[in-house]
Amino acid sequence: MSFEILLSNAAALVVVVPLLGGAIAMLLGSSRLAWSWSLICALATFSLSLVLLSGVLSGENISYEMGAWVSPLGILFEIDALNVLLITLVSAMGLLALLYGLPTIDQEIDRHKHAMFFGTFLICVAGLIGVSITGDAFNVFVFLEVSSISTYVLVAMGSKQNRQALTASFNYLILGTIGATFFVIGVGLLYMATGTLNMVDISRVLAETGSDRVVRAAFAFIVIGLGLKIAMFPLHTWLPNAYSFSPSMIGVFLASTATKVALYMLIRFLYTVFSAGQSFETAMFDYVLAPMAVTAMIVCSVQASFQSDVRRLLAYSSVAQIGYMLLGLSMGTVAGLAAGLIHLFNHALMKGALFMAVGIAGLGLGVVRISEMRGLGKTMPLTAAGLTIAGLSLMGVPLTAGFISKYYLVIAALENGWWWAVVAIVVSSVLAIFYVGRMIEVMYLQEPPKTADDAVVTVRSPILPLVALYVLVIANVWFFFDPSLPMGLANTAANELIGGAGS
């Protein structure tokens, strides 16, 4: 009986558990206790997301009425193939980041702050899941802010290591808030035009009344607002610092989830709320989104190649990779959208692993710059191997998940006749070879730093971070051989979104 209650309310609990868990975690005085509790909560959240996943995989979309109020009066949670992918991803990454985080947090944050830190982290996870799960446009804003404010705080916690974390967090706060406010303006205009806030309902009303200037302005505001959160080129300036100065556990989590969730929101708005195929939307795809995406792919890859700080390198590469996803969704075809979604999923896997590996190296040897990674292949062989595999995945080498997403992206571009996009993908991949190759070369070909008696420094990495790292590394290989899970979901989602708009 009670188990049934649990299952039938999984949609609500997947958000509520980490939220309440976070509130409790902040009260637990001991660092270890708070961490264990957070881990339990994250595990519970992950299990709940699996319940949702299995529900969706069995072919039925789930909707959940908050407070039992029917939509559009109440807030409706709607779970389909699209967001269940995100929910699973976020909860899994939250769990892994926690698993990974303990030793790094010991080093990076004052001990008496740990409980509150973990509490904030859980709230951040909950916020991102909330954004993904809800079907109400204004509720999106609320949860976007839950996740954003907690993110600002978490990023700022890197200040013990480097004071630049403070300015990074502040800039993120300013731009993030502007983004959120633009989003609210957009939602307000939509409400003005339709009188409702439920996203499906908005699209229904829009389909009846057609678009007018209010709707078009709303569209622009929402795209820009979410663009800021996505770090869509050229609105990405906050991202490199925020990722590279935050505590490493937060870097791992943010890099693999935060922008993805905002991107999901953009997809939701572009395809569910505004039906694709309207002239102004197609125009924006062709003349704004796609060129921006391509520019990001190339310019930011070049920028990444010139970074000396490892995490900044990865952060710039993230902006470039977001370009891939945007490119996919701006094609406006089922294949393109699905490719973008697959890349969204795969990129989370590889970037999460990369940030983890760099973090472990930082833990052992204080690595910040690429030059400091020299000889890592000898001093920390497991970490270096993990980093290499994830790096290869980033390049898009076969036998790694990165290949799958690039492959589908290229195919989608070809089907669309976008030759220039193919060229851009190729150029960007080649640039990825350079910046990943630089790391690999330094790790394996340069001699490790020697101690006084000319012995190689060997470092024993703590076990938990390595476990978390290898879960992701294995996932990177696994999803090459069996990409049916993300692909199935992505294809279903793309078909629902685009097919639904056409009918």
Tokens representing 68 are 């039992």
Choose, by CB under 8 A, the member of 106, 216, 286, 474 that binds another protein.
Answer: 216
Q: Can residue 450 be called a binding residue for another protein (CB under 8 A)?
A: no
Q: Which stretch binds another protein (CB under 8 A): 37-45, 274-282, 356-364, 400-408?
A: 400-408
Nearer to another protein, 221 or 316 (CB): 221
Nearer to another protein, 287 or 481 (CB): 481
Q: Which stretch binds another protein (CB under 8 A): 22-30, 54-62, 85-93, 297-305?
A: 22-30
Cβ pair 309, 435 in contact under 8 A: no
Nearer to another protein, 39 or 411 (CB): 411
Q: Can residue 483 be called a binding residue for another protein (CB under 8 A)?
A: yes
Q: Tell me, by CB under 8 A, how many residues bind another protein.
A: 114
Helix, strand, coil percentages, rounded to 5, for the chain: 80, 5, 15
Q: Can residue 477 be called a binding residue for another protein (CB under 8 A)?
A: no
Choose, by CB under 8 A, the member of 36, 40, 63, 65 that binds another protein.
Answer: 65
Among residue numbers 158 through 197, which ones bind another protein (CB under 8 A)? 159-160, 163-164, 166-167, 169-170, 173-174, 177-178, 181, 184-185, 188-189, 191-197
Number of residues that this document lists for the chain: 503
Q: Which stretch binds another protein (CB under 8 A): 94-102, 202-210, 261-269, 358-366?
A: 202-210
Task: Transcribe 76-126 into DSSP letters.
Answer: EEEE-HHHHHHHHHHHHHHHHHHHHHHHHHHHHS-GGGHHHHHHHHHHHHH
Give the x/- contact pattern for another protein in 347-386, rule: CB under 8 A: ----------------------------------------
CA 299 – CA 327 distance, rounded (Å): 15
Burial label, 63 (beta-carbon count in 10 A; 0-12, 13-18, 19+): middle
For residue 8, give the nearest of 57, 59, 48 by alpha carbon: 48
Choose, by CB under 8 A, the member of 32, 212, 283, 467 that binds another protein.
Answer: 212
- The SS3 call for residue 309 is strand
Q: Which stretch binds another protein (CB under 8 A): 230-238, 285-293, 421-429, 453-461?
A: 421-429
Q: Can residue 288 be called a binding residue for another protein (CB under 8 A)?
A: no
Cβ pair 118, 99 in contact under 8 A: no
Burial label, 389 (beta-carbon count in 10 A; 0-12, 13-18, 19+): buried
Q: Which stretch binds another protein (CB under 8 A): 37-45, 281-289, 407-415, 494-502?
A: 407-415
CA 267 – CA 494 distance, rounded (Å): 10
CA 224 – CA 51 distance, rounded (Å): 34
Q: Can residue 464 be called a binding residue for another protein (CB under 8 A)?
A: no
Q: Can residue 478 be called a binding residue for another protein (CB under 8 A)?
A: no
Matching residue, tokens 């009918």:
503
